[in-house]
Amino acid sequence: MVNLEWYRTFKSVYKNGNFSLAAKELFISQPAVSQQIVMLEAHVGYKLFNRKSKGVEPTEYAKLLNNLIIDALDRLENVENGFRAKAFNANRLLSVGISRHLMSSIGSALLAKFDFIDFTFHNNDALFDLVNSKKLDFAIVTKKFDTFDTIQKKVGEIKQVIVGSTNIDLSVIKAKIKSKDNVAIENWLNEQKWYSHDAGIPHIKLFWLHVFAKKRPSMIANYIIPSEYEMLEILSKNTGVAVTWNINAKNLIQEKKLQLIWSSKEMPSTDVFLLSGKNDNLSTIFQDIMVELKGVL
């Protein structure tokens, strides 16, 4: 019985002239490629490839077979891809990568649109590698990558702000901010209890650099809670301040669980991007996700 996978493998080996490259293209192992070629040779009754120092060379029988099957195989693959594209919808399990710090505010926006999502938490570089290697369908990142093999579109922007618990009197700091007294502002901030999602306080250092032109803030973080949204939830029930992305604090401020202490043009912002591998079957879903994320951002 004819096995179409043998012919797919034959086509890839013929095109690439190499079993290893064919294996990568087909996402199977090199031994599997070799086995399928052996089985096809047994089926057609002729040797199809001669091994060389670097790769393989098609025999005259392989050239004849390629001429006979290539058009029919291409048509069959086009029909198959078209069918998959039509069948691809929101009921498919999507794999989406995102930072754990943006999950509650951004990632959760996708839940109302799609029925099945498998989320993965990683940093920007790791998420890019997973999408680039086709181990993830999509990733939401805050870094732009130079790549030809991955689709990357900006979906919005997030910005740093300073927030505090509702039991803090902000009259003094608001007056200092209005008068642009940076020395007094910094002194007030240094006296507060600080919350951070990272012991390296990256948000706070970035804020201090942009606003006070200092690489090392004088304050120390009192509490380290390794999820920014959880950190804000805990802050809202206690006393202290934090530097956070505005998207994470938005709802808590609207619900009067946190106070916005300071938001200015000097505070750093970053773009948010949606990543996906180049795959026609993902293009419709990519657009749908973009719409949802832009609605949040």
Task: Tell me, rounded to whole angstroms, the distance of Cα 55 from its chain centroid.
Answer: 35
pLDDT digits (tens, 9 = 90+) for 84-129: 555 445 467 899 999 999 999 999 999 988 888 999 999 999 999 9
The reported pTM is 0.67
180, 185, 187, 193 alpha-carbon torsion, rounded to 10°: 180
Give the SS3 label for residue 37: helix
209: region left, alpha or beta (phi > 0 left; psi from -120 to 50 alpha)? alpha
d(CA 34, CA 49): 11
Is the separation of the CB atoms in 192 and 253 below 8 Å? no
Q: What is the pLDDT of residue 118?
A: 93
State how far the alpha carbon of 47 is from the alpha carbons of 15, 36, 57, 66, 169, in Å. 17, 13, 11, 13, 84
- Check residue 73 and give its pLDDT: 78
Angstrom distance (rounded) from CA 273 to CA 282: 16
Confirm if 238 and 166 have CB atoms less than 8 A apart.
no
DSSP summary character for residue 55: E
Check pLDDT > 80 for residue 136: yes
Determine the pLDDT at residue 71: 82
Mean pLDDT across 145-157: 90
| Mean pLDDT along residues 177-194 | 94
Give, for 236, the enclosing helix (H) or strand (E).
Answer: helix 228-236
Percent pLDDT > 70 in the chain is 95
b/e code 133-144 from CB counts within 10 Å (16+ = b): eeebbbbbbbee
- Over pLDDT 90: what percentage of the chain? 59
Contacts of 219 (CB under 8 A, 6+ apart): 189, 190, 192, 194, 204
Tell me the DSSP string of 256-282.
TSEEEEE--TTS-EEEEEEEEES-GGG
∠ CA 113-116-120 to the nearest 5 degrees? 105
The rounded distance, in Å, linking the Cα atoms of 13 and 30 is 11
Residues 6+ away with beta carbon under 8 Å from 130? 97, 120, 122, 136, 139
Question: pLDDT tens across 6-46, in order?
Answer: 888 888 899 999 999 988 888 888 888 999 889 888 888 88
Q: Which two tokens stand for residue 51?
A: 């091994």
Place of tokens 């832009």: 294
What is the distance between the alpha carbons of residues 128 and 111, in angstroms, rounded to a whole number?
A: 22
Domains of the chain in start order, with CATH, are 4-87 (1.10.10.10), 95-297 (3.40.190.290)
pLDDT tens for each residue of 225-281: 999 999 999 999 999 999 999 999 999 999 999 999 999 888 889 999 999 988 767
| Over residues 202-227, mean pLDDT | 90
pLDDT for the residue 90: 46
Residue 108 identity: S
Give the per-residue pLDDT at 128: 94
